[in-house]
Structure 1
Amino acid sequence: MLRLSGITKTYPTPQGPLRVLDSVDLELAAGESLALMGESGSGKSTLLHLAAGLDLPDSGSVELDGQRLSALSEPARASLRRHRLGLVFQQFHLVPSLSVRDNLTLQARLAGRDDRAWTDHLLARLGLDGLDDRYPEQLSGGQQQRLAIGRALAPRPQLLLADEPTGNLDEAVADQVLALLQTLIDESGCALLVVTHSTRVAAPMGRRLRLARGRLLEPGR
């Protein structure tokens, strides 16, 4: 589903070039879950942005379902994201002027995959049924994050990329959201790549890797 081969990414700094990713190789199969761990500034979010085609590597290749992202135009990469990827960020990025239902179905409508039965199922599983007509500001933080996860899953993506998806939540609510995320991933059958610094978030994932000094390592190394 996702293959990163020989990925290198360098950013200019006042002290000189900073290589945040150094010949990184990573594969993620359909239906697999992977936690990418590391300290702040280790390059986790950079790798996630490259996987989504939001940025391009200096060298190496990113392939999504066999398509090399650097060979696509920006509009083509945007179309690929719309139809095959779900994105969940630490900031919820909900549309304040849209209701819960309209926020949930936004990505699905853009992808031409608005499925009323799946939407109703998601609302129920997210604990948001009966709140269809409310607006994001009327929801708790945990409800807003659940809504953001549901919005990403509404188009039935093949791959879900999540960047610190419970970072703004307290521990108890974070555990609830994480359990729900795992359940919905199992129900939808998509692959999951989670970027996190939390061992708690990483624990239930099928695989765990640590990013340090630009390289991917097994946990504990």
Structure 2
Amino acid sequence: MASGNRPALEVTGLRKSYRSAGEDIAVLRGVNLAVAAGESVALTGESGSGKSTLLHLIAGLDAADGGEIILDGVSLSELGDAGRAALRRDRLGLVFQQFNLIPSLTVSDNLTFQSRIAGRHDPKWHDELVERLGLAHLLKRYPEQLSGGQQQRVAIGRALAPKPLLLLADEPTGNLDEETADEVLALARDLVARTGCGFLMVTHSARLAALLDRRVNLHAGVIA
């Protein structure tokens, strides 16, 4: 974890198993991980190693069997469904490979969606995101009218609009060609640094992982 910065995320002894074919399959066997505010961390590991499971647990989309996840000093295990949803809304930015934009909303409305429901819409920051992401000429378009790279820019802008404590990204460039992936990741890193939030990105690419501050590898259910 970057020295001197407060922790955005602290994961300790995290365990998760799933029931399959009548037996319990342990996916996470005691994961320990910390991400500081302003730090970018790549999470790598072979397919099926539990990377997406870990991100879903951190986001409060699923419950762990044991261990602790602390976001901004708050333990997720102490929160109910409503509390986890509020934390996800107010303190987390989520970016996925599939973009997950709202088809019926324009680019402009997609960008402001998260910040408005969080009650933290900042017009000046919105304008900066539009400029930095190169979206000014696309604000009236709908997601289906955009390229993959443009959609992912909107998704990143939407996630960062409320200035979250932590940005979680699950293979955010997986559907993009190499040049566009590099461009999108560079923009994400720059904007993350601008907000001072932590950034945890799942990726299969060693090349992209090397562009972040630090790389951790998930193997056999633990962080190597």
Q: TM-score range by the shorter chain?
A: over 0.9
- Corresponding residue to 2:125 among 109, 114, 118: 118
- Corresponding residue to 2:208 among 201, 204, 209: 201
- Say whether residues 1:105 and 2:115 are aligned partners: no
- Corresponding residue to 2:94 among 83, 87, 91: 87
In structure 1, the partner of 2:5 is: none
**Counterpart Cα distance in 2 of 1:165 and 1:28:** 18
Secondary structure of 1:130's match?
helix
Secondary structure of 1:17's match?
strand
In structure 2, the partner of 1:146 is: 153
Shift of 1:186: 1.1
- Corresponding residue to 2:45 among 17, 38, 43: 38
In structure 1, the partner of 2:221 is: 214
In structure 1, the partner of 2:19 is: 12
Q: Name structure 1 gaps, 5 residues minimum.
A: none
**Counterpart Cα distance in 2 of 1:30 and 1:185:** 9
Q: Name structure 2 gaps, 5 residues minimum.
A: 1-7
Q: Percent identity of the aligned residues?
A: 61
- Corresponding residue to 1:164 among 161, 171, 176: 171
- Say whether residues 1:53 and 2:53 are aligned partners: no
Secondary structure of 2:136's match?
coil
TM-score (normalizing by structure 2): 0.95
TM-score (normalizing by structure 1): 0.96
Secondary structure of 1:62's match?
strand
In structure 2, the partner of 1:70 is: 77
Moved over 6 A (4+): none
Shift of 1:16: 2.1
Per-residue CA deviation, residues 55-112 of structure 1 (Å, 9 max, x unaligned), is: 1110111111111101111111111111111000111100111000000000000001
RMSD, aligned α-carbons: 0.9
What are the residue-to-residue correspondences of 1:180-191 with 2, within 5 Å? 180-191=187-198
**Counterpart Cα distance in 1 of 2:84 and 2:48:** 26
Q: Give the letter aligned to residue 111 of structure 1.
A: A
**Counterpart Cα distance in 2 of 1:30 and 1:174:** 24
Q: Give the letter aligned to residue 115 of structure 1.
A: D
100-109 or 206-215, larger mean C-alpha shift: 206-215
- Say whether residues 1:175 and 2:182 are aligned partners: yes
Secondary structure of 2:215's match?
strand
Q: Give the letter aligned to residue 115 of structure 2.
A: A
In structure 1, the partner of 2:9 is: 2
Residues paired across the two proteins, number: 217
Shift of 1:131: 1.4
Per-residue CA deviation, residues 101-137 of structure 1 (Å, 9 max, x unaligned), is: 0000000000011111111110111111121111111
**Counterpart Cα distance in 2 of 1:141 and 1:65:** 32
Shift of 1:40: 1.4
Shift of 1:205: 1.1
Secondary structure of 2:23's match?
coil
